[in-house]
């Protein structure tokens, strides 16, 4: 973790000048201040912006490329800013975020869809709230995930994840018993927006 251009130059002077990339984090996430220090010292780094914020500074000195990045773990997020002053805290934070992400989004949970499945899903994907399909209070044990919204309250209610593959096909519904963990296309006679 570096605080100033002097720290960067100290790393450069003590590192063997061979082709390599060194990743760095600025203390207290002061990436903008680092950019201005580099420019004032006569360097011309390349920069990257995401979501209107400076997220990366790249600077090549000799054969070494220094890649300084923001401390933000989600680069395109506008909220949830974090700023730490210790490598240990940053590494622990990064490790916890990676563990959370890999446990939440597992490759085993991915479905495989045929071209027909994709066409049907794109055509009939739900939009929350869609409306009322039956009259009266609805008390069903199901959770709906929408393409454009993420509901943390709904997310916590998911205990099983249906995984679809090429052997799962769409079939017409003719009033047979509804099976668990099955994908259905339902047409509403009326749509009531809330």
Residues 139 and 136: their CA atoms lie apart, in Å, by 10
* pLDDT value at residue 194: 46
* pLDDT value at residue 48: 92
* pLDDT value at residue 177: 83
The 10 Å Cβ neighbour count of residue 78 is: 9
Closest Cα to residue 85, out of 27, 25, 30?
27
Sheet with 64-69: list strands edge to edge.
Answer: 20-25, 64-69, 53-61, 46-50
**SS3 at position 20:** strand
Closest Cα to residue 120, out of 44, 50, 185?
185
pTM score, whole prediction: 0.51
Domain ranges of the chain: 5-104, 106-194
Closest Cα to residue 97, out of 58, 71, 68, 79?
71
Q: Cβ distance 71 to 32 under 8 Å?
A: no
**What is the full per-residue pLDDT of the chain (194 aa) written as tens digits?**
888 999 999 999 998 888 999 999 888 888 999 999 999 999 999 999 888 888 899 999 999 999 999 888 777 776 667 788 888 888 898 898 888 888 777 777 676 777 877 777 777 665 555 445 556 665 655 555 555 555 566 666 667 666 667 677 767 777 788 777 676 666 666 665 54
Residue holding tokens 């912006």? Answer: 49
Q: Any idea what DSSP says for residue 128?
A: S
Angle between helix 31-40 and helix 5-13 axes, rounded to 10 deg: 70
List, in sequence order, every residue forming a beta bridge with 2; answer none if it has no partner.
26
* pLDDT value at residue 108: 73
* pLDDT value at residue 125: 63
């Amino acid at each position: 973790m570096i605080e100033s251009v002097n720290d960067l130059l100290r790393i450069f002077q003590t590192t063997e000048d061979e082709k390599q990339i060194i990743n760095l984090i600025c203390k207290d996430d002061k990436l903008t201040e680092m950019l201005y220090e580099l420019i004032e010292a006569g360097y011309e780094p390349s920069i990257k912006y995401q979501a209107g914020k400076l997220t990366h500074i790249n600077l090549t000195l000799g054969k070494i490329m220094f890649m300084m990045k923001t401390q933000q773990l989600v680069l395109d997020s506008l909220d949830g800013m974090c700023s730490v002053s210790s490598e240990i805290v940053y590494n622990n934070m990064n490790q916890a975020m990676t563990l959370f992400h890999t446990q939440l989004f597992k490759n085993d949970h991915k479905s495989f869809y045929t071209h027909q499945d994709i066409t049907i899903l794109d055509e009939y994907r739900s939009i929350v709230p869609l409306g009322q399909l039956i009259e009266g209070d609805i008390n069903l044990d199901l959770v709906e995930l929408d393409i454009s919204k993420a509901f943390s309250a709904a997310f916590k209610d998911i205990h099983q994840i249906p995984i679809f593959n090429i052997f799962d096909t769409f079939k017409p519904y003719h009033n047979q018993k509804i099976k668990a963990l099955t994908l259905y296309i339902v047409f509403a006679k009326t749509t009531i927006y809330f």
